[in-house]
A and B are shown apart, each in its own frame.
Chain A
Amino acid sequence: KIWTTKGDEQKSATEEFIGYLKTLEAELGDKPYFGGEKLGYVDVTMIPFYSWFHAYEVSGNFSIESNCPKLMAWAKRCMQHESVSKTLPDPKKVYEFILQLKKEGAPQQRASMAEEVILLDSWVSPFGMRARIALAEKGIKHEHREEDLGNKSDLLLKMNSIHKTIPVLIHNGKPVCESNNIVQYLDEVWHDKSPLLPSDPYLKGQARFWADFVDRKVFDAGRKVWVTKGEEQKSLMEEFIGHLKTLEAELGDEPYFGGEKMGYVDVTMVPIYSWFHAYEVSGNFSFESHCPKLVAWAKRCMQHDSVSKALPDPEKVYEYVLQLRKRLGIE
């Protein structure tokens, strides 16, 4: 019922399912297996469903581990037996199979099975903001999930096991990581709405070059400013401003980096604007006096709902930075 329903029906199916798992968990008690010291009849009956847990979790958007940790421990214990581990299929393949089934399902089911798009994010992250803007520009319905980076969810650790960072886009259960990668992916899948990258190979190459510059130079210097102080911080701020001036020169007299409309480089760069106030107060200077055209460009972007709704309140960002520096023992 979890993977064949949506909304309230799915919610109550999930609760019912967890209820039954908890009943089993209580029956297991402190025994290693339902059969006692060894695998028995009930273990054999129940363990195959473990290979479907991932599919349930993604479809129903919940974690079995957090509800029934002892049952999960039991399942992993069973999986140490070759008889089990060689029998059970790869949970990811099971999920793909379910997606196929859903596609081929009854017309009512097909209609209710929309694209499932989830964004694992953190409100203050400029990288997360990029994904938010791209999703909004393309009008993509999605579920936004705020991650507590001090206590990362199982889903995040599973979906981005390599870097364990946000943002992570999960499209029909499959993760896409790295913010610029996510933006490009969205641009390719939803290519008919608000294209962000130009189709001409050379212009595309130029856009990619500048997005890379924003990442490796602008954002990198900008980030380091917060974890330093004194002379080191001062010279990093100068470096940061230098990079902004380079970007300003590249913008020239165009309204956006994408030309007449916002494009890939605009989406990559504008999130840092929500951090400008924090930089200005900390460094006691004004961006407007160093790169007025860039500030004008940022304000132009902010007139778009997709941007203004994605960027947080600069005051809140400043408060966040103060907390961060306190925590790191810098202030």
Chain B
Amino acid sequence: MAEVVLLDFWGSPFGMRARIALAEKGVKYEYKEEHLLTGKKTPLLLETNPVHKKIPVLIHNGKPISESLVIVQYIEDAWSDTAPLLPADPYGRSQARFWADFVDKKIYDQGKKIWANKAGEVQEAGKKELMESLKLLEGELGEKPFFGGETIGYVDVALVPFYTWFYSFETIGNFSIEAECPKLIEWVKRCLERESVSKSLVDPEKVYVDLILVLKKMYGYE
């Protein structure tokens, strides 16, 4: 096995977090695709993440780490001499962790209310909640180019992958995120100027056609 292996799924925002962090640090790794849409999980995944059986899993010298934010923090600690994603001062770090945790608590579930439902109460609630969360994040960004300040940091890595799912939310929910959070979309474009991000994120339209619509059919969310 290669020194660094990433078990991942192409459309997962959580997997994209690990991809960006590894790229920022210039770490060479072997990418292994888990074909989640087939419903089958590989023995390697079940062995390396027996507790949750989910991707991403980072395997470094044979030792596995799971949970995307735990993985990003591990990458930060293990390759600490390049491109720091967290500030040095404890207070700044606690703020970054707070906002990454906020992203984790809100964005995926709120987005799911939109894509996994037909037009109606639940979907409307999801739209309202998602916009509230994105506005709070936009407020936290303020006038900074990135959440991490002058360069991308932990919160940028935690949030930007969800951009690939925005097109799906907007199409299914029939609304525009850009219209209400223009500064956030400017931030996304700024992130995409970095290779670590542009090479780790997938095409939003592909996510819509090959993932979201497929999931909707698979689970009967129509």
Contact = CB atoms under 8 A, between A and B. Distances in A.
Interface string B80-113: 0000000000110110011001100000000000
Interface of B: 51, 60, 63, 65-67, 69-71, 73-74, 77-78, 90-91, 93-94, 97-98, 101-102, 136
Given A162-B102, A162-B136, A201-B78, A181 B70 contact: no
A185 B93 contact: yes
Q: Is the interface of A mostly helix, strand, loop or mixed?
A: helix
A205 B77 contact: yes
A174 B91 contact: yes
B74 A202 contact: yes
A37 to B, nearest CB: 35
B73 A181 contact: no
A185 B87 CA distance: 13
Nearest to A202: B63
Contact of B51 (A185, A189, A202, A246): A246
A204 interface: yes
A81 B51 CA distance: 58
Interface in A94-141: none
Contact of B98 (A171, A181, A205, A213): A181
Interface in A185-202: 185, 188-189, 201-202
Nearest to B96: A181
14 contacts: A162-B102, A162-B136, A177-B98, A178-B98, A178-B101, A182-B94, A185-B90, A185-B94, A204-B74, A205-B71, A205-B74, A208-B74, A212-B67, A212-B69
Interface centre among A171, A209, A246 (most CB of B within 10 A): A209
A174 B123 CA distance: 37
Interface of A: 162, 171, 174, 176-178, 181-182, 184-185, 188-189, 201-202, 204-206, 208-209, 212-213, 246
A171 B63 CA distance: 37
B65 A205 contact: yes
B73 A188 contact: no
B70 A189 contact: no
Nearest to A186: B90
A2 B98 CA distance: 32
A202 B71 CA distance: 10
A182 B93 CA distance: 11
Given A162-B136, A181-B98, A171 B91 contact: yes
A181 B65 contact: no
A165 to B, nearest CB: 11
Contacts of B102: 162
